[in-house]
Structure 1
């Protein structure tokens, strides 16, 4: 039929045989019929090039097909969102004391985190970006102090409370026990 009726010179010359091809080589309507059908199917498809009568002789491979796209776009908070977050941080600043710090945070829907070990040159507290003036404040504050201001980073507002001060020099076993035992457990799991 292709030799007699096809208006596509390439298809006509080969008796309708197109050979094997991969996705993306044919018009979408044609491709959909071919790749969603199975060997032995005969399909009639209309496209911008006319009417196609397709017989699927065989299919090679069973790889799944996925369209993947990466969208790389910075999404910034709007003014209303930033104002709302700053208002919450300011409300927390006025309500928090050393005794009710965690409870006030929870009341306002905020997360109270504790950094396990902070050194003078840190710029991250347990995975959260920390401004230099926050670290400086921590090294000048006393145990139980709450910062007198809200520290800002690009992604968060931070109100700090100093919960513990480690003395200079070699730390006691109790001071390193929690961190060391976690590291030891991780090491043992990796070894087994």
Structure 2
């Protein structure tokens, strides 16, 4: 009788504990290479936005103003957890597919190019990596081309903890990297949330 009560107690306890453990079968961590591979395999971006840029750069005494024109583009790649199931759906079912439940934003690509008259051109590329809509890794590349001079470039790779821990990020272009990343991140998430 004692063993029967002990077995019953253990069985009940095991059932109660196992019901309180939430197993998230969709939770999975991706590496940067896996995310790049998924985006390459899937081809074109799921969401694309483009626009024009106008910039003015003034020197300290405002006697010389350089005007720049160019454009920007955002490309956002989504990953579907059960892509085979999604592809098997009818067009009507695809329209009703709950992307918030079955997909997560995994990569946003940003590019801007600006030409400053009689001066130089500048291209900035950003790759933003997300898990569960939270930014976890960033790559930034800045390329400046001046007339009759060699192209100058600088590359930054940050985990979100490195970015948050650094007070300022030194670069050869005196470019405000942290505020640029914050602004682009907000834009990408805003575009994603409108989908």
TM-score > 0.5, shorter chain as reference: no
TM range (shorter): under 0.3
TM-score calculated relative to the size of structure 2: 0.19
| Higher RCO structure (Cα 8 Å, ≥6 apart) | 2
Which has the larger strand fraction? 2
Structure (1 or 2) with the larger CA radius of gyration: 1
TM-score, normalised relative to structure 1: 0.19
